[in-house]
Amino acid sequence: MGTSNADVIVIGGGIGGLSAALALTRAGLRVRVHEQASAFGEVGAGLQLAPNCTRILDHYGLLGEATALGVLPESMVMKDAVDATELTRLDLRDVERRYGHPYLVIHRSDLHGILLRACDRAGVELLTDARCTSYENVGGGARVRFAGGGTDEAEAVIAADGLHSVARELLVRDEPVSSAYVAYRGAVPFEQVAGNGVHEKDVVVYVGPRCHFVQYPLRAGEMFNQVAVFESRKALAGEEDWGTPDELDAAFAGTCDQVQKGLPSMWRDRWWRMYDRDPIMTWVSGRIALLGDAAHPPLQYMAQGAIMAIEDGWVLGEQVAAQGARRTGQGSGVDWDRVLAAYGAVRPEHCRRVVTTARAWGDLWHLDGVRRLRRNALLRGRDVHDYAFVDWIFGPTALTPEDEPEMFRPIPLDTVPL
């Protein structure tokens, strides 16, 4: 199916697949991407990119373009969704100074477009209408098979095929875990929300009982992104048809004015049911490696899903580059067993921490009753310049297990006085 000899095949042309293809091409390899859709693209609205991602975009020479298309917000503010009081904030200018790279928000399709154009410039071979149906290891490499009957083969295959990954079945028989939460999104012209008392230059998260609401500007402030997330009663009752628009307004009935005013701007013709998977610590089978959501789909509460995918690709690229392999008549010269072992030694543990923390973070956001009050007291008591809870994420991406920083230890809620 391929049109030239590729050293590496990447399955899936989402943010994870494209950024991995770019990283490996920059490391001197010939890379071919197979995407099942008939065109490369992204659906959805905004993405938050913390310094552990903008550092990598900078390394690729793409931060200027991302900054021009996105927004560098001034603060991240957390408020109570019921009474609209401020609970805590991150000064994002200070974050930039501390970590050396900015906190950026950007439209998903803009980030995807930046990566696609960079892949194109770098010479990545980009193929569409190619749905991969199976993977197998063969002597000296791996082979993939496509729905149309064709095959492709290379020294290594990176499976960046998302939440419903086919490749993951090589490693584990598991299913996506439903959180019973659903996300509505909406990115609208800023004028549409200007009278709603919104923060023009901040990321704001309203956390409430079984729901939360996120707002931030996009595209140099011309657009405004909102995400409404809530627990679906129909999902809890086991109904098939859950997360439908009739549940949206009811779920936010007890929230403050600022949130209520945002609800009419949500898109009501599509919604995203929130799934993750239990972490797995082995992502590599022979010459086939999982990457991005295929390996570690999170609940989105840490806003690190796309970032983890981009970090995965960067680590692979750095491991290949570190070998300084010389191309021979036989191939790229890369010692793939070493590269994939190094990748498998560092990334699963980091992503396990993020995926499990995202679950706990979501639980904290959605509390009700006394536990909500304890949460509020805990967050109000935080020194705004205390970065203990993000140091382990926002710092440089670890290339070895020894570089991985110690994880933040959450403070038990029951110990917080009211």
Q: Which is nearer to ligand FAD, 35 or 80 (CB)?
A: 35
Query: Token pair for residue 247?
Result: 């549940």
Minimum distance, C-beta of residue 6 to ligand FAD, in the bound complex (Å): 15
3-state helix, strand, coil in the chain (%, to 5): 40, 25, 35
Beta strands 272-276 and 177-189, pairing class:
antiparallel
Q: For residues 340 and 222, give the distance between their C-alpha atoms in angstroms, rounded to a whole number.
A: 43
Nearer Cβ to ligand FAD, position 256 or 295?
A: 295
Residue 309 interacts with ligand FAD (CB under 6 A)?
Answer: yes
Interface with ligand FAD, residue 118, by CB under 6 A: no
Q: Examine residue 292 and tell whether it contacts ligand FAD (CB under 6 A).
A: yes
Contact between 362 and ligand FAD by CB under 6 A: the answer reads no
Half-sphere exposure of 360 toward its Cβ, with a 13 Å CA cutoff? 13
Quote the CA–CA distance of 121 and 63 in Å, as a whole number: 16
17 binds ligand FAD (CB under 6 A): yes
Cβ proximity to ligand FAD: between 214 and 378 the closer is 214
Q: Rule CB under 6 A: say whether 243 interacts with ligand FAD.
A: no
CB of 232 to ligand FAD, least distance (A): 14
Q: Report CA-CA distances (Å) from 62 to 21, 92, 94, 112, 130.
A: 15, 20, 22, 12, 28
Count of other CB atoms within 10 angstroms of residue 356: 15
227 binds ligand FAD (CB under 6 A): yes
**Which of 31-39, 93-101, 242-250, 367-375 is the region at the interface with ligand FAD (rule: CB under 6 A)?**
31-39
216 is catalytic: yes
| DSSP 8-state code for residue 71 | B
* Distance in Å from the first CA to the final CA of the chain: 64
306 touching ligand FAD, by CB under 6 A: yes
Q: Say whether residue 37 binds ligand FAD (CB under 6 A).
A: yes
- The answer to whether 207 and 61 are in contact (CB under 8 A) is no
Strand order of the sheet with strand 8-11? 125-127, 31-34, 8-11, 156-159, 288-290, 284-285
Is residue 276 close enough to count as binding ligand FAD by CB under 6 A? no
Contact call for residue 379 and ligand FAD (CB under 6 A): no
* Near ligand FAD by CB under 6 A: residue from 1, 2, 36, 396: 36
182 is an interface residue for ligand FAD by CB under 6 A: no
Question: Is residue 317 a contact point for ligand FAD (CB under 6 A)?
Answer: no
Q: Does 348 bind ligand FAD (CB under 6 A)?
A: no
Q: In angstroms, what is the minimal distance from the CB of 85 to ligand FAD?
A: 24
Query: Are 405 and 398 a contacting pair, CB within 8 Å?
Result: yes
Alpha-carbon distance 88 to 76, whole Å?
9
**For residues 35 and 130, is the Cβ–Cβ distance under 8 A?**
yes
- 293 near ligand FAD, judged by CB under 6 A: yes
Stretch that binds ligand FAD, among 33-41, 88-96, 231-239, 251-259 (CB under 6 A): 33-41
Q: For ligand FAD, which is the closer residue by CB, 28 or 292?
A: 292
Is 16 a binder of ligand FAD (CB under 6 A)? yes
Contact between 358 and ligand FAD per CB under 6 A: no
Do residues 17 and 125 make contact, with C-beta atoms less than 8 angstroms apart?
Answer: no
Q: Is 339 in the site for ligand FAD (CB under 6 A)?
A: no
Active-site choice (184, 206, 216, 301)? 216
Instruction: Mention every residue, 6+ apart, whose C-beta is less than 8 A from residue 83.
Output: 256
Here the tokens at position 68 are 């021009």
- 157 DSSP β-pair partners: 9, 288
Out of 48, 226, 332, 357, point to the residue binding ligand FAD (CB under 6 A): 48
Among 23, 78, 132, 340, binds ligand FAD (CB under 6 A): 132
Q: Looking at the annotation, which residues are catalytic?
A: 216
Note the residues at the interface with ligand FAD (CB under 6 A). 11-17, 34-37, 47-48, 130-132, 160-163, 166, 183, 227, 272, 292-293, 300, 303-307, 309
